[in-house]
Amino acid sequence: MKKKDISRLLQRYLSGHQEGKDAYFDADEIDELLDSFEESDDYTYYDEVLALGLRLHPGNPDLQVKQCKSYVYNEDYDSALVLIESIAETDNQDLDMLRLECYVMQDSYDKVIEHIEKLIADKCEYLETIFEYIAPILGDVEMTKEAHDFINRGLMLFPDNLILKDELCYNLEMEGDIKKAIEVCNELIDKNPYSNDYWFTLGRLYSISEDYEKAIEAFDFALTCDDSNEELKILKGHCLYMNGNYEKALEVYNDVKKADETYTPRLMPLLAECYVKLEDYEKAYVLLKELLKQKNLHEVSSGSYISYILCCVETGHKEEASDTLMKAAKLFPYNIRILSMLVLAHMENGDEHKAQEATDLLFMAFEEMENKQLDDFKNLYRTGQYFFMKGNIDEALQYFNKVLNAVPGMPYIHLHIAMAYLAKGDIEHFCEHYKKTSPEELFDYLKKVGFDLDGIIDHFGFKHIPPEDLVKEFLKNKDNNN
């Protein structure tokens, strides 16, 4: 029906409604009016018109199916199933899909399979459509195991169904089997090599597996199919960044910003991180300062605060760096790297009491962290190095031992602990840890940090690194934003 005819139907309904009486519509007119609401995704009058239709034509099966859909939409699955049973109509695709959807939403997968097997036995003509409809719903409600089983059942019957294979790809990703998901995605691309969606998915899967080179290649193929997807470009920029190609990542981000200014706030921290990696701290400082002005403080990530503090230090805005660190510590009270920076700041200010308080909080936050990453331990490691260089040996040992207990194989950890005990004059513990350091590791480390190998026997003569330079080196490690 044409839009103007639908408009007349709606106006007739509204006129009757305003007069407090029901206008008459035949069942087809009600059905078409309801279809127009669904197509426009405007359900303002849907329930009212449906109720009117059922009053006028209570036994009409099409309107009863619409009532079932309304029940499902409003999550009243019990009422939907009661109505489906009362209709008792066989070979009705809509009713079968609604029935199975209700079973899924009621977490009754056994009933789903029971009904599917009945449809198979009855040689249902629309069985493939049923599988296509239900598989995504199982995925949406995170019934991952059940979804995998259902998809496999469908593919046994319809092995060339691309919708089911696409769902399998998604399901495997949710299960964490990225390698298999990539295999399935490549099968989809073989069937349709010009699909932007398939190439995008492949690139995303490679990015998850940290194979950024292949991810970038897949994104480039996706862009040859459709170059209008700005989200895809941003993800490509991320992969370029992770692959160390910061200049190219900047180009991609700037192209997105030029194409659509609404992306600017989101791109500002991404652009800033590229400039930080390129050590162009002035440009990064300007971007991050603007970001902190424009956004609510709680909307800015901890990583952006850490980068901004670094940029402040590098560009000579040290008071601003200190103020920002205090703000960040309040906003992210359990962030490992920010707490580590806070410890160092208090030490630089000569406030050992506050430094110890921050250390205690840091260790508590660290113990309560789930899914600790190697970089989190490296962060503690560097803080321990700072204390050692400052001559705070006991504090350094706190950090070194925390790392040792969690990551015994951390490079140079036994050597650092040995040196700390040597500084304390504790030869017994020095020897204990020194013996656990291989000669290769020892000489490699001494070479890296500038030890005087000729004087090693007398005083382990290491090259002194001024504390302020060590703080800069600590800040420059941008891979630990927690």
Contacts of 32 (CB under 8 A, 6+ apart): 1, 6, 9
Answer whether residue 51 is part of any domain. Answer: yes
Contacts of 110 (CB under 8 A, 6+ apart): none
372 vs 393 pLDDT, higher one:
393
The boundaries of the domain holding residue 402 are 362-482
Contacts of 303 (CB under 8 A, 6+ apart): 269, 273, 481
pLDDT in tens, 250-261: 999 999 999 998
**Ranges 91-95, 220-224, 395-399, most confident:** 220-224
The CATH number for 434's domain is 1.25.40.10
Q: Binning pLDDT at 50, 70 and 90, where does residue 472 land? A: low
Answer whether residue 267 is part of any domain. Answer: no
pLDDT in tens, 98-116: 999 999 999 999 999 999 9
- Residue 85 CB burial class (10 angstroms; 0-12, 13-18, ≥19): exposed
Of residues 330, 334, 297, 327, the one with CA closest to residue 309: 327
Does the pLDDT of residue 458 top 60, yes or no? no
Q: Look at 145-149, 269-273, 374-378 and tell me which has the smallest mean pLDDT.
A: 374-378
pLDDT in tens, 196-251: 999 999 999 999 999 999 999 999 999 999 988 999 999 999 999 999 999 999 99
Answer whether residue 350 is part of any domain. Answer: no
Answer whether residue 414 is part of any domain. Answer: yes
Q: Which two tokens stand for residue 445?
A: 């480390």
Q: How many domains does the chain have?
A: 2
Answer whether residue 262 is part of any domain. Answer: no
Residue 455 has a pLDDT of: 52
* Boundary-marking domain end, from 89, 106, 121: 89
Answer whether residue 312 is part of any domain. Answer: no
Does the pLDDT of residue 176 top 70, yes or no? yes
Answer whether residue 278 is part of any domain. Answer: no
* Boundary-marking domain end, from 63, 89, 115: 89
Answer whether residue 305 is part of any domain. Answer: no
* Boundary-marking domain end, from 29, 59, 89: 89
pLDDT in tens, 38-91: 888 888 888 899 999 999 999 898 899 999 999 998 999 999 999 999 987 778
Question: Looking at residues 132-161, what average pLDDT do you find?
Answer: 96
- How far out from the chain centre does Cα 385 lie? 33
